[in-house]
């Protein structure tokens, strides 16, 4: 019974230690500038732009919906 008591104390201490570390750590899941940005080329005018700003078509990616329309393409999917 005595060992069980100490085991419980130790487990509580480990749990509290992990919890305090997790609380102090600043979450950086979405760093604003870290990580390489994947670039794509507009299939109509050839400009390079980040993939999240690109407009996707069935033939490729475009810089804008106007260029997708000019290339006689439509939304993929
Ligand atoms: Zn374009």
70 C-alpha to ligand 1 centroid (Å): 9
Residue 2, H or E segment: helix 2-24
In a domain, 71, yes or no: yes
Residue 64: what pLDDT? 96
Give the domain extent around 56: 37-77
User: The whole model's pTM is what?
Assistant: 0.52
Task: Give the integer Cα–Cα distance in Å for 37 and 35.
Answer: 6
Average pLDDT, the chain: 87
In a domain, 7, yes or no: no
pLDDT band at 37 (very low <50, low <70, confident <90, very high): confident
In a domain, 1, yes or no: no
In a domain, 22, yes or no: no
44 C-alpha to ligand 1 centroid (Å): 5
In a domain, 54, yes or no: yes
In a domain, 32, yes or no: no
Number of domains in the chain: 1
| E-strand stretches of 3-68 | 39-41, 48-50, 55-56, 61-62
64 C-alpha to ligand 1 centroid (Å): 6
31 C-alpha to ligand 1 centroid (Å): 28
């Amino acid at each position: 019974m005595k060992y069980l008591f100490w085991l419980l104390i130790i487990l509580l201490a480990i749990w509290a230690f992990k919890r305090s570390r997790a609380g102090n750590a600043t979450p950086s899941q979405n760093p604003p500038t870290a990580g390489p940005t994947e670039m794509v080329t507009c299939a109509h005018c050839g400009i390079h732009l980040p993939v999240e700003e690109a407009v996707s078509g069935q033939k490729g990616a475009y810089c804008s919906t106007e260029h997708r329309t000019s290339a006689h393409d439509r939304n993929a999917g």
